[in-house]
Amino acid sequence: MTFSIVARSADGVAHGVAVASKFLAAGAVVPAAEAGVGALATQSYANLAYRPQGLAMLRTGTLAADVVAGLTAADPGRAQRQLGVVGAAGDGATFTGTGCHAWAGGVTGDGYAIQGNILTGPEVVAAMEQAWLASDPAAPLAARLLTALRAGDAAGGDRRGRQSAAVYVVAPGQGYGGTSDVLVDLRVDDHPDPCAELARLLDVHTLLFGRPDPDTLLPLDGALADEVRELLAARGHTDSDLDAALAGWAGIENLEERMVPGHLDPLVLAHLRA
């Protein structure tokens, strides 16, 4: 009833899952991930116990293929299950039970597992794999996962239609304010075009919570400082300390993650000018 990709970033730091389905709130059921450990997707009459059990196995260094083998061997309902697992290193692993609704199957490779059931055909997972392999390894993992998910959606996706989509990514200390490992956790629970809506949400998330690129930061001095001070004053932020005034405005706009004292992120400047 679902198609998903479970993957690890090229540098091995991040792990995540992207999923879409003609099923209400698939993001509440399918994905699980733990920073520095791995990620998994449970679908097709999902066994939610796979999530804590699978992560516990990955935590001990168990290979993805052995996690899949262990979880399914102990499950009397395995014929109707589908599962994808990626660990901290090595190939991903996937499982499709013999009782899953056609078309059902999956593909794997170094650091990824792609699987789906009740699909229009094998072209869905093939398109996802091609998009994943063609994506920039240096790009954020959430963006790469979504690129693969949208490729599967464009190739036909769930043959019953569309309803929900989600992306979940973890990385050590890279969550909001550096106090969490959850880097991205976005869900579209009920929407006529959930993958497109998920892409819109990820763009907003990137603007608000993405870290500024040090190579693009602008020195907050001279004519730029004068312009910023004027723009902030028009919005009621008149602190004589320009960094303080900017931080006050940014906090209201939810852009605090992009603040760098003495400098300005071009994305923040564009938002301020708008």
232 contacts: CB under 8 Å, gap ≥ 6: 238, 242, 245, 246, 249, 272
Sign for the CA dihedral angle at 191, 26, 171, 134 comes to: negative
Same-domain status, 50 and 177: yes
| Interatomic CA distance for residues 95 and 149, integer angstroms | 19
Is 1's pLDDT higher than 80? no
If asked whether residues 72 and 199 sit together in one domain, one would say yes
Chain segment 54-86, per-residue pLDDT in tens: 999 999 999 999 999 999 999 999 999 999 999
Examine the fold and report which residue of 185, 209, 233 is the final residue of a domain before the chain moves on. Answer: 209
pLDDT > 70 fraction of the chain, expressed in percent and rounded:
100
Mean of the per-residue pLDDT values of the chain: 97
Confidence band, pLDDT 50/70/90 cuts, at residue 19: very high
Residue with tokens 């870290």: 211
> Are residues 43 and 96 part of one domain?
yes
Based on the fold, state whether residues 170 and 120 are members of the same structural domain.
yes
Total domain count for the chain?
2
Mean pLDDT across 179-184? 97
Q: pLDDT of 214-253, one tens digit each?
A: 999 999 999 999 999 999 999 999 999 999 999 999 999 9
Which of 169, 189, 209 is the last residue before a domain boundary?
209
Co-location of 161 and 259 in the same domain: no
CATH of the domain at 205: 3.60.20.10
**Do 114 and 21 share a structural domain?**
yes
Based on the fold, state whether residues 11 and 44 are members of the same structural domain. yes
Give me 240's structure tokens.
């004589």
End-to-end CA distance of the chain: 42
- Average pLDDT estimate for 13-42: 98
CB-based contacts of 228, cutoff 8 Å, min separation 6:
220, 242, 246, 264, 269, 272
- Using left for φ > 0, alpha for ψ between -120 and 50, and beta otherwise, residue 14 falls in beta
Q: Do 135 and 198 fall within a single domain? A: yes
142 & 254 share domain? no
**How distant, in Å, are the alpha carbons of 221, 251, 262, 271 from that of 231?**
14, 16, 17, 11
| pLDDT value of residue 153 | 97
C-beta of residue 169 within 8 angstroms of C-beta of residue 33? yes
My answer on whether 131 and 249 are in the same domain is no
Cβ 80 vs Cβ 95: under 8 Å? no
Prediction pTM value: 0.93
Task: Say if residue 97 is in the same domain as residue 180.
Answer: yes
Residue 38 has pLDDT above 80, yes or no: yes
Q: Which stretch of DSSP H or E encloses residue 230?
A: helix 222-234
Same domain, 48 and 70: yes
Domain boundary among 191, 209, 227: 209
> Domain limits at 250?
214-273
**pLDDT at residue 266 is higher than 90:** yes
Within 10 angstroms of residue 260's Cβ, the number of other Cβ atoms is: 15
Question: What's the confidence (pLDDT) of residue 80?
Answer: 97
